[in-house]
Structure 1
Amino acid sequence: MSEVHPREILICTIAKLLDGVRHVAVGASSPIPAAGAMLLRALRQQAGEKGPRISILGSVEHNFFTNGSAELFDCAGQGRIDAFCLGGGQIDGRGNVNLVGTGDYPQTPVRWPGSFGSAYLYYVVPRVILFREEHTPRALVEKVDFISTPGVSNDGVYRSGGPIALLTSKALFRFDKTRPGFDLQSIHPGHDLAGIKDATGFQFAHESQPEQTALPNPQTLALLRGRVYDEVAETYPDFAAQMRREIERPLSHAS
C-alpha cells in the first residue's frame, strides 16, 4: 500500500474530531469534510455500532433534506445537527471568519461568494470545525478584514455553537474560548513549529515540542481507499478520482 497522502491525514483527523456526533452536516463544496464524516460512519459500522447521520447539500444519496438549506437551518436551530465544517477566505486568531472579501467593505478588491448561512450555523451548531487547506499568512490572519461570523460572542448573547478546532494542510489547532484563541495541538508530517509560525498570521499557544498528527493505521486507510472513496464519488466524483490517481504515485508530505 502506498504512503499516506496529505489529504488522507486531513480526512482521518476530521473523522476523529467528529467522534461521538449523531448528525453531521456538510456543505456543497466540501469533499474532505464529507470524506471524514463518511470514514467515521464506516468505522462505526465496521465495529457493529450505529454510524452518524450525514447530510451533504447537493447529494442525492447522502441527504435526507427535500428543501435544501431551509431544512438544514431548521434542523440546526432545533439542536439536531451536532457538527459542521466551516471554511473561510480569512480566519483569525479569535476564530472570526471572513467569507465576503479582502479590503475595506464594501470596496473589496477581492470578492468571495458571501456569508450565506455561516453566521447562523456558527451560533447554533455545537461542534464547528474550521477547515482551510491553505495555511499561509494571507488565509490565517491576525484580524479578518470583514467578520462574516465571530468566533466568540459577548456575555449575555445566547450561543450554543462555535468553533472547537482549526484544521489546515499543516497543523491541527484546538480553540480555547476562555482566552479566546488557538492552541497548537499537532503538526502534520513534513512540517515543523518554525514553519507553522512563519505561515500563521496570528499568535497561538503551543508546547515546546508539539506532537505530530497521527497517521491512520492500515485498516483505516484501506477502508478510506475502498468504501469511503466509493461513497464520496457520488457527490464528488472528480475528488475521488483524483485521490485514487495520486495515491498510486510517490508522494511527499510537504505541501
Structure 2
Amino acid sequence: MRVANKNTLRVSDIMTCAMARLLKDEEKVFHGVSSHLPMVAMMLARSMHAPNLVHLNISGGVNPQTVKDAYYSSAGADLWNGAEAVFSLEEVFDLSMRGKLDVAFLSGVQFDINGNVNASVIGDYNKPKVRLPGGAGSAVLIPTAKKAIIWRTKHDKRTFVEKVDFVTTRGNLWKIVTPLCIFKFEEGKLLLESIHPTSSLNEVIENTGFEVNYNEIKYTPEPSEEELRMLKRIDPYDFRSKEFL
C-alpha cells in the first residue's frame, strides 16, 4: 500500500493537477459558475503543456490572463481581463450541440454507477426533501460535449449512491474527479481509475454507495514541484481550495 505524507499533500492541489493533466493542447474547454477548481486547472494546463487550449467560461471572456485580484471569480468580470475574444454562453451551447466543444467541466449532487447525474431534487420529485437548482447547462452539455468531466469536492455515500433520486442527465461522462479518487465511465459503468495518494481503496469503498469496480489499483500522480510553483503564480490567493471551506 502506498503511504503519502498527508501533511504536505493537499487534496485541492491533487485534484487541480489531475484535472489539468486531462486537458490537451488546442482543446476547447468550458467551465461554468462556482468552478474555481476547473478554472485554475485550465489555467495550469495552458501554462504547462497546453498553451493553445481555448478557455471558455460563463462570463464570455476567451483565454483570460492570469488573475491575481482578490475578487477573483469563476463567473465574474475578472475573466474579461486580457481576454482574446468574447464568446457568450449561448454560443457555448451552440458549439456543444454542433459537436465542437471538446471538454465541459460540470458538477452535480448525486451520481450512480450507471453515470446518471442528479442536480434537481433529493427525495421524491413531487415532495422533495431538498429542491436543487436543476440541470441548467449540465442537461445540455453532458450529453453533447465530446468529454464531460465531473468534479465534486465531497465523496460520501449521499453523493455516490446506488440509484440517484432523479435523473437530471445521463451518459457521456468521461471522468469524475473527487477528493478521494478518479472514476472513469466505461461501457456504461463507473470504474475506479486511480486513487489519490492521500486516500486508500478502503476509504473509497467505505464512502461509495455502489460497488466499486476496477481493472487494476493505480494511484493518481502527486503534483510535481513545477506544477506547485506554477499554481502559486497563477492562483496566489489559493482559490482552488475555496470549495473545501
- Fold match (TM-score > 0.5): yes
- Hey, what's the Cα distance between the residues in 2 that align with 1:97 and 1:39? 27
Give how far 1:20 is off: 4.3
Provide Cα deviations, 1:46-88, integer angstroms capped at 9, x if missing partner. xxxx42010121332358445x421221121223311011111
TM-score by length of 2: 0.81
The whole-number CA distance in structure 2 between the counterparts of 1:97 and 1:242 is 23
Instruction: State which of 169, 176, 183 in structure 2 corresponds to 1:166.
Output: 176
Structure-2 separation of matches of 1:77 and 1:20: 22
RMSD of the TM alignment (CA)? 2.5
Are the equivalent residues in 1 in contact too, given 2:36–2:242 (CA < 8 A)? no
Match of residue 85 from structure 1: 105
Deviation at 1:202, TM superposition (A): 1.4
TM value normalised by structure 1: 0.78
Deviation (angstroms), 1:44: 2.8
Q: 1:242 to 1:90 in 2, by over 3 A?
A: closer
Unaligned runs of 5+ in 2: 1-6, 59-74
Q: Provide the rounded CA distance (Å) in 2 between the counterparts of 1:132 and 1:241.
A: 12
Aligned pair in 2 of structure 1 residues 51, 44: CA closer, same or farther (>3 Å)?
Answer: farther
Match for residue 221 of structure 2?
A: 214
CA contact (8 A) 1:83 1:125 kept: yes
2:121 is the alignment partner of 1:101: yes
Residue 13 of structure 1: how far off its partner (Å): 0.3
| Distance of 2:119 and 2:162 partners within structure 1 | 16
Identity %: 31
Alignment check: 8 A CA contact 2:29 2:53 kept? yes
In structure 2, the residue matched to 1:157 is none
CA distance in 2, matches of 1:140, 1:6: 18
Which of 193, 196, 204 matches 1:196? Answer: 204
Residue 150 of structure 2 corresponds to residue 130 of structure 1: yes
Aligned-residue offset at 1:21? 5.1
Q: Are 2:27 and 1:22 aligned?
A: yes
For 2:55, the equivalent position in structure 1 comes to 54
Contact 2:12 2:241 in 1 (8 A): no
Confirm or deny: 8 A CA contact 2:156 2:207 kept in the other structure.
yes
* 1:242 Cα deviation after fit: 5.9
Q: What whole-Å deviation, never above 9, does each CA across 1:163-201 have from its counterpart, x for those lacking one?
A: 11111000011110x2x2112111112321111111001
* CA distance 1:182–1:241, change in 2 (3 Å): closer
Looking at structure 1, the residues matched to 126 and 41 of structure 2 have their Cα atoms a distance apart, in angstroms, of 36
Match for residue 36 of structure 1 among 35, 41, 66: 41
| Alignment map for 1:115-154 (pairs within 5 Å) | 115-151=135-171
Unaligned segments of structure 1, at least 5 residues? 152-161, 231-236, 247-255
| Aligned: 1:184 with 2:192 | yes
Aligned to 2:235: 229
Letter of the aligned partner of 2:235 in structure 1? Y
Alignment partner, residue 15 of structure 2: 10
What is residue 233 of structure 1 aligned with on the other side? Answer: none
The alignment of Structure 1 onto Structure 2 pairs a total of residues equal to 219
SS in 2 for 1:140: coil
Whole-angstrom CA distance in 2 between matches of 1:7 and 1:131: 11
